[in-house]
């Protein structure tokens, strides 16, 4: 964990836990000795902060390029390990960065739905997470973020870290790449949804 990341999480963690009543469970499911993909549903701009506070390892998030247009904010999130992706433009540079992070033993954070959904159950994962998993042969840690309604001060949020999904369990031997991509996105969606449906 980089010093700047650790310091910031240490400072803002107690404040956010108080203001948003963040609870978490499933810490025992977080691998501490290797790289993997952390896949979570996306409910609010605060999600990366909540996950950073509760996860015991630094998460390197892929985020939309628009967030990097304001220089001071761009500087901050880059220091935290966030990197940009041009959505819908086949950003091979971002994909390469993501792949390298996992191969280096780091935690890659992805919101596989591709955008935020402020209310309701998680939506189907996009194919991007499957492409990265297949290239790196990465296990995937499903995570759910649950709250009732939109985020607001002192509302309760619960984060559940699910059981790690082994890469081999998502791949069908002899199947086409397209079939395996579909398998991965389906499994990830189902696992996140199951965690979300546990609610409080």
Give the model's pLDDT for residue 84: 87
Q: Give the list of residues 6+ apart from residue 26 with CB closer than 8 angstroms, or none.
A: 160, 161, 162, 163
- The model's pTM: 0.91
Mean pLDDT over 13-34 rounds to 92
Domain edges within the chain: 3-196
pLDDT > 80? residue 88: no
Q: What is the pLDDT of residue 90?
A: 65
Distance of CA 131 to the CA centre of its chain: 15
Using one digit for the tens of pLDDT, what is the confidence trace for 137-183? 999 999 999 998 888 888 899 999 999 999 999 999 899 999 999 99
Tell me the torsion sign for CA atoms 100, 103, 104, 105. positive
pLDDT (tens digit, 9 = 90+) per residue, 27-49? Answer: 999 999 999 999 999 999 889 88
C-alpha 38: how far from its chain's center?
Answer: 4
Q: What is the pLDDT of residue 4?
A: 80
Among candidates 122, 126, 139, 151, which has minimal Cα distance to 49? 151
Calpha distance 102→113 (Å, rounded) = 20
Task: Give CATH for domain 3-196.
Answer: 3.40.1130.10
Mean pLDDT, rounded, of the chain: 91
**pLDDT value at 89 more than 70:** no
pLDDT exceeds cutoff 80 at 74: yes
């Amino acid at each position: 964990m980089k010093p700047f990341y650790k310091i910031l999480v240490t400072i803002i963690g107690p404040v956010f836990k108080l203001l948003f009543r963040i609870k978490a469970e499933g810490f025992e499911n977080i691998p501490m000795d290797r790289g993997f993909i952390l896949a979570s549903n996306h409910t609010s701009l605060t999600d990366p902060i909540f996950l950073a506070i509760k996860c015991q390892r630094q998460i390197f998030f892929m985020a939309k390029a628009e967030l990097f247009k304001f220089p001071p904010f761009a500087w901050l999130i880059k220091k935290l390990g966030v990197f940009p992706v041009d959505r819908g433009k086949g950003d091979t540079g971002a994909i390469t960065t993501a792949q390298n992070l996992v191969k280096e033993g780091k935690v890659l954070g992805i919101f596989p739905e591709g955008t935020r959904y402020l209310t309701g159950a998680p939506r189907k994962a996009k194919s991007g997470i499957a492409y990265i998993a297949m290239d790196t042969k990465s296990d995937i840690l499903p995570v759910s973020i649950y709250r009732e309604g939109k985020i607001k001060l002192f509302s309760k949020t619960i984060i559940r870290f699910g059981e790690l999904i082994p890469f081999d369990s998502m791949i069908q031997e002899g199947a086409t790449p397209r079939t395996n991509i579909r398998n991965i996105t389906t499994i990830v969606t189902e696992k996140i949804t199951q965690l979300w449906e546990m609610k409080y």
